[in-house]
Amino acid sequence: MKQTHLFLCPLSLGVCLLQSAVAAQRPNVLFIVCDDLNTHVSTSGYPHIRTPAFDHLAASGMSFNRAYCQYPVCGPSRASFLHGLYPQSTGILNNKTDIRKIRPGTVSLPQRFKESGYWTGAVGKVFHNVKVDPGEVAWNRMLRFENDEMPMVTPIREKFEAEHGPITDGKSRRLWRQFYPTIAKQTKGQKPGYGPTGLTDKQHKDGKNARQIADWLENKAQGDRPFFMACGIQKPHIPFLAPDKYFAMYPPAELKFTPASMEFWKQAPKIAQTKRYGGFGFEFGVTNDALRREYMQAYHACISFIDAQIGGVFDALKNSGHWDDTIVVLTSDHGYLLGEKFMWGKVMLFETCARVPLVIRVPGQTHAGSSSQGLVELIDLYPTLAELCAVKPPSELQGRSLVPMLRDSKQPGKEIAYTVVVRGADLGHAIRTDRWRYTEWPNDEELYDLKKDPTEDHNLVQSATHSETLKQMRKHLKRAERNALSEMRPPSH
């Protein structure tokens, strides 16, 4: 990809030098976004997994214990927080639509930083895929990597090629794509595949992502400019693959979880339910403890693997002398169910799908080891970073800066957090308040008391005792919907 190194300045040389001096004083940004990572990390109160890098960042920064995505699917969520707009206003409600086609001129977070004099670089999955990534408009450098071939696959591929020809060519390529998922559970892709790979950390794409960030830091890719580096961590998204040593950390028999309750299915709207359990190999209502443990082991192995890579990035930040002049944001695009409610995956409007880990460190501003219980949304990240870095944000942003909360953990968060998801041609809307989760579907509703029912098993919509609460939640939701639609544009033609 072509790189941009020079910026032309129409002003006098003196003014340009002054701008350069001001830019040099602005903090750097390291923006780390994980893929499909739920709150199974220590900083979110989950005690059954070791995530020392998350712990280290939290010990010197602030943990937001109630942070929520705006859409529990990769593409719409990323389009939302990278443009600071709710999904209805971005117009992105699936993984295929490109915001540049339906909302031309909308300026993304990295683009605004690049326009403001920052050197911007990205590795891995930041925007959903290369088709929707803005490329040179947003990035000085943008790289994506793939895993090396698993050792178990190599002899099988060589035998296949001896019979059919190179797997990169025509018919043999198609045949290989059909055959590959049948090799082992690790090769099943999004069916989903899972298991140890036989590869080292640096042979995985996330190991390569982390090492590329470290290389940029070591070799001062940014030159004399402040930098905005985005590290897209691609696990624990399926397939749940990681080096063998991380699987060894979590023997299946030692994993802790609550058996799935079927109470939810007795009273929840059908539209709120998903049958993804079938894709994971489960039969509805039939306990398969061994299989659930295998998936949880793999998911946890992926988390400890990416935590180690993130730790390497932090080491590189320190070794390059930038630990104390760089804002670090560590989060995920959305949550993920691992058998809770007998459901698997994402695309659901529940706490486990909507809530994400979020840790932010602002040198000289955040208090070490602080935490906030205030409600925040991922769309708040854009205005927050813009304020901290003296970058002028687009006027259309719908998020709210978290800077007051970063400076004082007792500052209140939002009254509600808002999340939506598509079901066919319909849209489901959910709000999270301090105590309640309320969801409105086209012909149904859900109300859960998260204080008494944190697993959201008992829908209170029909409860006369909660009729006033229900009315209040409907009002909150209407207000949230108006806000979400406030920057909506007509379809571009």
Could you report the average pLDDT of every consecutive run of 10 residues in the chain (493 residues)? 34 40 77 97 92 97 98 98 98 96 96 98 97 97 98 98 94 96 96 97 98 98 97 98 98 92 87 93 94 98 98 98 98 96 95 97 96 98 98 97 96 97 95 98 96 94 96 98 93 57
pLDDT at 491: 66
The Cα–Cα gap between 156 and 163 comes to 11
**CA atoms of 404 and 64, how far apart (whole Å):** 13
Distance CA 432, CA 446 (A): 12
Specify whether the CB–CB gap between 32 and 233 falls below 8 A: yes
Q: Tell me which H or E stretch contains 299.
A: helix 289-319
- Among the listed residues 230, 235, 232, the one whose alpha carbon sits nearest the alpha carbon of residue 109: 230
Identify the pLDDT of residue 9: 35
d(CA 399, CA 84): 6
Q: What is the pLDDT of residue 24?
A: 53
Tokens of 473: 């939640």
pLDDT attached to residue 7: 33
Specify the pLDDT at position 490: 77
| Confidence (pLDDT) at 10 | 38
| CATH 3.40.720.10 residue ranges for the chain | 29-147+202-414
Confidence at residue 21, expressed as pLDDT on a 0 to 100 scale: 45
Q: What is the pLDDT of residue 11?
A: 39
Residue 479, pLDDT score:
97
Query: What pLDDT, on a 0 to 100 scale, did the predictor assign at position 489?
Result: 87
pLDDT of amino acid 492? 56
Query: Which CATH architecture does the domain made up of 29-147+202-414 adopt?
Result: 3-Layer(aba) Sandwich (3.40)
164-202 in b/e burial notation, b at 16+ Cβ within 10 A? Answer: eeebeeeebeeebeebbeebebbbbeeebbbbbbbbebe
pTM comes to 0.94
What is d(CA 479, CA 475) in angstroms, rounded to the nearest whole number? 6
- Length, in residues, of the chain: 493
Instruction: In whole angstroms, give the CA distance from residue 387 to residue 401.
Output: 7
pLDDT at residue 475, as a whole number = 98
Do 199 and 148 meet the contact criterion of CB atoms below 8 Å apart?
A: yes
